Amino acid sequence: MQTVDVSLADRSYPIHIGSDLLSRIDLLLPHLVRPKAAIVTNTTVAPLYLEGVVTRLRSEGIETISVILPDGEQYKTWQTLNLIFDALLANHCERSTTLIALGGGVVGDMTGFAAATYQRGMPFIQIPTTLLAQVDSSVGGKTAVNHPLGKNMIGAFYQPKLVIADTTSLVSLPDRELSAGIAEIIKYGLIRDLPFLEWLEANMEALIQRDATALEYAIARSCINKAEVVTADERESGERAILNFGHTFGHAIEAALGFGAWLHGEAVAVGMLLATDLSIRLGLMPSGATERVANLLRRAKLPVTMPAISADQFISLMAHDKKVDAGKIRFVLLGKIGQAFLSDRVPENILRDVLTQPAIHA
């Protein structure tokens, strides 16, 4: 087991990464304020892992409540969030009850938002079971639900007490979900860790084949990168915004197609290509960078071509992005591979060229 610490003073917490950690009840117990926990999961994850977690907790005298949500990004809504609140209220859960998110990014985001708002705050623990959640959404305290006009537009910053990333859970992950998680891993190399990107270029096939050593290294390296950024800028007032590389485009793709049509990581993959192309057209990078990124995404079995969305719709949806400031869309751009920065100085004509004249074709 490897442990990465997120250092945020009294809100600090460990991320434990390794195999068979779901059986390690000793990792959970020190973080339970009271002997009562509500486990939030979904219809896909529940048959695989819920019973084991419940049994181990109950063997230690922990009362448990299970909340099983429908699975899919399209259910990341206020209506689904209320299912969590309904269960907490019906079972007389108090502020000291611990919420445990057992699932992917949707489960983690909604559980965290419920924890941030139920009785104005209750402790919660992240047990991410998808690669994307293990390397990104479970770390850093961003919680939210979607709105039809924008992804993650309603939420709160609220840190977990603990993150447990069990690599064994990735064995049951569909290939498409695995690739979606690798998109977020590639992101860290592109924005701030060139040696890691070079490692990914040398080891992509091992990741796709679910080599345990490669996966554990990639997860830990990703978490180290995110922990460093979150520690420096917890509430995204500056540096943390670079973690959204490709996301302004990607979130627009998800909203335009309907949440759930493309996986988040798939949309981010194309978004990263568009952001790289935009950086090149602004004269920040050499033209070969787009093909380098595209080649790595192809090897990760991710899409590299934009779906049929008009430039007008794209720009309209991006105007609802959380990084919009004073009416200006702010983009995460690359000064070079491994070095990202935030800019609102993007002429609309160049943006439209990126959206209508793609640099990469199938």
Neighbour tally for 196: CB within 10 Å: 21
Please check the confidence at residue 361 and state whether its pLDDT lies above 70.
no
Q: How many residues does the chain have?
A: 362
pLDDT (tens digit, 9 = 90+) per residue, 186-221?
999 999 999 999 999 999 999 999 999 999 999 999
Which pairing describes strands 36-42 and 63-69: parallel, antiparallel, or unpaired? Answer: parallel
What pLDDT is attached to residue 325?
A: 80
Please check the confidence at residue 100 and state whether its pLDDT lies above 90.
yes
Please check the confidence at residue 120 and state whether its pLDDT lies above 70.
yes
CB of 128 within 8 A of CB of 163? yes
Percent of all residues in the chain with a pLDDT value above 90, rounded to a whole number: 91
Q: Catalogue all structural domains in the chain, each as residue range(s) with its CATH number.
A: 2-172 (3.40.50.1970), 175-356 (1.20.1090.10)
pLDDT (tens digit, 9 = 90+) per residue, 16-65?
999 999 999 999 999 998 999 999 999 999 999 999 999 999 999 999 99
Window from 82-91, 122-131, 145-154, 274-283 with minimum mean pLDDT: 145-154
What pLDDT is attached to residue 359?
A: 82
Q: How far is CA 34 from CA 47, 96, 97, 100, 289, in A?
A: 26, 6, 6, 13, 52
Percent of all residues in the chain with a pLDDT value above 70, rounded to a whole number: 99
Residue 242 amino acid letter: I
What pLDDT is attached to residue 137?
A: 94
Please check the confidence at residue 281 and state whether its pLDDT lies above 80.
yes
203-230: burial string, b at 16+ Cβ within 10 Å, e else: ebebbbeeeeebbbbbbbbbbbbbbbbb
Using alpha carbons, select from 83, 161, 135, 144 the residue that is nearest to residue 108.
144
Which are the contacts of 138, defined by CB distance < 8 A and separation ≥ 6? 15, 101, 105, 108, 126, 128, 160, 163, 165
Q: What are phi and psi of 35, to 5 degrees?
A: -75, 50
CB of 177 within 8 A of CB of 130? yes
What pLDDT is attached to residue 75?
A: 96
- Give the residue numbers annotated as catalytic, written as ranges: 120, 142, 184, 226, 236, 240, 244, 247, 251, 264
Question: Which of helix, strand or coil describes residue 156?
Answer: strand
CA distance linking residue 104 with residue 345, whole number of Å: 35
pLDDT (tens digit, 9 = 90+) per residue, 236-256?
888 899 999 999 999 999 999
CA distance linking residue 294 with residue 277, whole number of Å: 11
What pLDDT is attached to residue 327?
A: 82
Please check the confidence at residue 323 and state whether its pLDDT lies above 90.
no
What pLDDT is attached to residue 321?
A: 80
Q: DSSP H helical segments within the chain, as ranges?
A: 25-28, 51-59, 78-90, 105-117, 131-132, 175-192, 194-208, 212-232, 247-257, 264-281, 288-299, 311-318, 348-356
Q: How confident is the model over 93-100, as a mean pLDDT?
A: 97
What pLDDT is attached to residue 272?
A: 98
Please check the confidence at residue 362 and state whether its pLDDT lies above 70.
no
